[in-house]
Structure 1
Amino acid sequence: MSLQQQLVEQLSALSPLHLEVINESAHHGGYFPGKESHFKVIIVSDAFEHLRLVQKHQKVYSCTQNLLAAHGGPIHALAIHAYSQTQWKGDVPLSPECAHAKK
């Protein structure tokens, strides 16, 4: 199972109303076909209602920590965009350019 699929599976614990897991590895230095190291998550869940940004991120980290490099996993970077249903406007934030990506 790909890391992207594992992220989707693990984040399903938050009962998302909307979930996108985007593999952004190709936009980063050291990329080769099939590499999975950088992801962006857009998740909308009632579990985020009335939470501050850091608390939303903590919920996502608690579901995915076994996949993150800080805990010995293979994912180097996880950009999190977490919204409650009332906060979600349907916009997907752009990711910044990686300074080490091939131009």
Structure 2
Amino acid sequence: MIVNSLLIKTLQAATLSGTYLARNMSGVVENTIRNKLQTSLGTKHLEIINESYMHNVPKGAETHFKVVVVSDKFDGLPLIKRHRLVNDILKEELQTGVHALSIVAKTPEQWDSSDKVVESSPNCRGGFGK
């Protein structure tokens, strides 16, 4: 009886700590993206938007992101080179689980002169143009 009681308490504690860990581990990929972009680009403004919920993925997935990045390092770079720079910084994440990355890359001057509204992404069409 004592063994069963201890076993039940141990399982309850493990379940609670597992739930606690799962809740606190959400956003790991998002935080990694944030840290890498802030460190590499010295961002003036940065938004990381997890759009995974809009797709057919498990709840809590971190597979589809939109990033809004404002950095002085984009000065003089055409849009394609800005996107390549962001993709290079996040190369590992793009190879290991991030399925889609939408990028808005602006200089501080462009950001300051804009309305600062980020357009919503279109609804998922299932990847097959449905």
- TM-score (normalised: structure 1): 0.88
RMSD value over aligned CA atoms? Answer: 1.4
1:53-68 equivalences under 5 Å are: 53-68=79-94
Please point out which of 79, 88, 91 is paired with 2:117.
91
Aligned to 1:51: 77
More strand by share: 1
Deviation per CA, 1:24-60, whole angstroms, max 9, x where unpaired?
A: 000012x221111000000100011111110000110
Once the two structures are aligned, what percentage of the paired residues are identical? 38
Q: Kindly state the Cα deviation for residue 63 of structure 1 after the two structures are TM-superposed.
A: 0.8
Size of the aligned set, in residue pairs, is 97
Q: Which residue does 2:105 correspond to in 1? A: 82
> What is the CA distance between 1:100 and its match in structure 2?
2.3
Q: Who wins on radius of gyration, i.e. which is larger?
A: 2
Please list, as runs of the form range in 1=range in 2, the aligned pairs for 1:4-19 lying within 5 A after superposition: 4-12=30-38, 13-19=40-46
3-state SS in 2 of match to 1:86: helix
Structure 2 length-normalised TM: 0.71
* Structure 1 residue runs of 4 or more that deviate by more than 6 Å after TM superposition: none
What code does the residue aligned with 2:101 have? L
More helix by share: 2
Gaps of 5+ in 1: none
Which segments of 5 or more consecutive residues in structure 2 lack a partner in the other structure?
Answer: 1-24
